[in-house]
Structure 1
């Protein structure tokens, strides 16, 4: 980071302390467009801000491997979640690198690596496992009071992983993966024969609606979510059954049945039953999913429900909307912008990018 930028941030910090400057925004942290966890070649862990030009705008240390993060909607602050079954999350001032708070899961709980802020940024919602009860929970934290824990709600299912907000509201949509785990058995899946994944819509603790897959797909764990501006939810799944599943990607609107994306069996087989991340295009017409196991990016046409492109990239996982195209990251350090037909831009970092590329939605 250049000396001028460092000096500016120190100057701003002094003004803030004196009450003479407006509160910092994401612009003061280098105007990143995305967040991503990463690892260095010597085994250190970071949370990075990435610009729309795919340059790294900041690097902040993490105490352990990160999974995903939640970006505050107004101030340059992020909550970095440990890889499940982690019991802590770190709140980082992305402008200074200061650790603002540590979230510790209550006794009998662990985090699932994802969270989302309320629309006004006052609350943080986290997906958690009540592992003795074998039930998913949503933790509620006060982001304006040092991230004190306020309450918790039932997630509407087992194994909640990703969580998003419907646009313009505080209605939460939760990907209940359906898989029961317990820290004493590590990441062992305890209930595969009876798992029942769902999407759950929750407002103020009330379960508004759940949507489930057909019975023959009950071993298709719903894991990751993306939304368009109209509230359509796209979801990526991870198959826990035998053989090749019929679909790994679907969409849903409240009050309607689930819709599954279609692809030739060889293309689905090449994904090795595993969707790592998902994004929806800015116009809602295209759904992008990644498989680090298969080393593939798949693009689907949301209207026709058909696979329109498969693109290879070793150890790909992170994906997010970037203009009319998508940004993707890889464990090899690659960052690319692609529209499915060609690579629009690319950079190489001396880092191993972790699973997710988190958009920063600023006012």
Structure 2
């Protein structure tokens, strides 16, 4: 009862905040089209408070990136999704207990869903092609097993759930090239890192790690395939398709006990639909990355993995050959607009980050002191 009361109080406070300040920077339409404005749905932290919102900028070097609209949320947000009606979905970082649908720039109240304690959100959500259903990665608080929650997009209520055949399920994505009985299939990354409900994100028994990629039937959740890496201490986490949708890139996070082994670990794996392989990073570069790949993206120029511990973006050709590390302090969120990679850092963000001369957007006054979280998505 104490938890339920706290949630109700928190929710009431957030509703008040939404009414007072969520549209502080928003015009009548949060997606107002003027002079090619770029909008990015993002999550961030500022002085201990957490937010989701829309950031905006104009094309061209030196144009500031500004907060366009914002909503305070109870804890750190992680994955975001923009639905066809312009609403933004965000879910809490794992293990999380909230999911919100928000209409930036409109007077509609944010729609909240709280977990009941039996499940926790794992930070990512996708939608069906028609936007009617949502799919969230979740973990059973008692057993640690992971599930895909299938939800009604209008009510956010669960209408079905499917096992992911693993633990620590993280990002999921549609595999539109592979169908099963006419249904699209879903790829889920099981991170494989054991944790316990009473200790939250504290990792334990890492020698039992079991990370995998699974393919599920998009209508029934039936398991259609499962793939593992040889190195069991590499956690498969974030996903991005190549522009031709033939290859899936997966950002890796190393969990080795030995520091030297962890620092030499790769941060990119590629999946062609039948086989899963790691892509090596040059040893001199890998030492600075420390085995930690953040967000994942792909453009015609190749693969990109944000590496905040190296203050740069690891870039590879589309075949997986090393290109270089693009410097950007505390970079993490990546998004693709057209053929250009947008990367968010601390104090500035990059447009066309894989180019010889990326375009820099300094963070504007209302974005100063903000630490961008793992992900952002194009909302223009």
Shorter-chain TM-score category? Answer: 0.7 to 0.9
- Does 2:258 match 1:239? no
- Does 2:289 match 1:291? no
**What is aligned with 2:202?**
188
- Does 2:272 match 1:260? no
- Contact 2:42–2:80 (Cα < 8 Å) also in 1: no
- Contact 1:78–1:92 (Cα < 8 Å) also in 2: yes
**CA displacement 1:265-298 (0-9 Å, x = unmatched):** 12112111111111011x3x50001111221211
**CA displacement 1:29-74 (0-9 Å, x = unmatched):** 997543110123x443221223474744632212223333332431
**What is aligned with 2:347?**
333
Q: Secondary structure at the match of 2:374?
A: coil
Displacement, 1:140? 1.1
Instruction: In structure 1, list runs of 5 or more residues that go unmatched.
Output: 10-24
**What is aligned with 1:63?**
73
Q: Distance in 1 between matches of 2:323 and 2:25?
A: 46
Runs ≥4 residues deviating over 4 A: 1-5, 25-33
Distance 1:199 1:87, change over 3 A: same
**CA displacement 1:159-202 (0-9 Å, x = unmatched):** 00111122477421111000121220121112310111111111
Q: Secondary structure at the match of 1:263?
A: coil
**CA displacement 1:179-226 (0-9 Å, x = unmatched):** 121220121112310111111111221111111101xx1100011111
Q: What does residue range 316-327 of structure 1 map to in structure 2 within 5 Å?
A: 316-327=331-342
Instruction: In structure 2, list runs of 5 or more residues that go unmatched.
Output: 1-21, 60-64, 178-182
Q: Distance in 2 between matches of 1:276 and 1:4?
A: 29
Q: Distance in 2 between matches of 1:27 and 1:47?
A: 19
Distance 1:45 1:139, change over 3 A: same
What TM-score results when the alignment is normalised by the length of structure 2? 0.80
**CA displacement 1:227-279 (0-9 Å, x = unmatched):** 1342421000110012234422011122x211322221121121111111110
**CA displacement 1:55-106 (0-9 Å, x = unmatched):** 4463221222333333243111111112221111111112326433212224
Q: Distance in 2 between matches of 1:97 and 1:157?
A: 41
- Does 2:192 match 1:173? no
Q: Distance in 2 between matches of 1:171 and 1:318?
A: 26
Q: Distance in 1 between matches of 2:112 and 2:42?
A: 19
Q: Secondary structure at the match of 2:287?
A: helix
Q: Distance in 2 between matches of 1:121 and 1:246?
A: 38
Displacement, 1:119? 1.1
Q: What does residue range 82-121 of structure 1 map to in structure 2 within 5 Å?
A: 82-96=92-106, 98-121=108-131
Q: Distance in 2 between matches of 1:80 and 1:164?
A: 16
- Does 2:152 match 1:138? no
- Contact 2:269–2:279 (Cα < 8 Å) also in 1: yes
Q: Which one scores higher on RCO, CA 8 angstroms, separation ≥ 6?
A: 2
**CA displacement 1:319-363 (0-9 Å, x = unmatched):** 122333311112x23211122422223221312211112234x8x
What TM-score results when the alignment is normalised by the length of structure 1? 0.84
Distance 1:341 1:98, change over 3 A: same
Q: Distance in 2 between matches of 1:122 and 1:27?
A: 25
Q: Secondary structure at the match of 1:156?
A: strand
- Contact 2:254–2:265 (Cα < 8 Å) also in 1: no
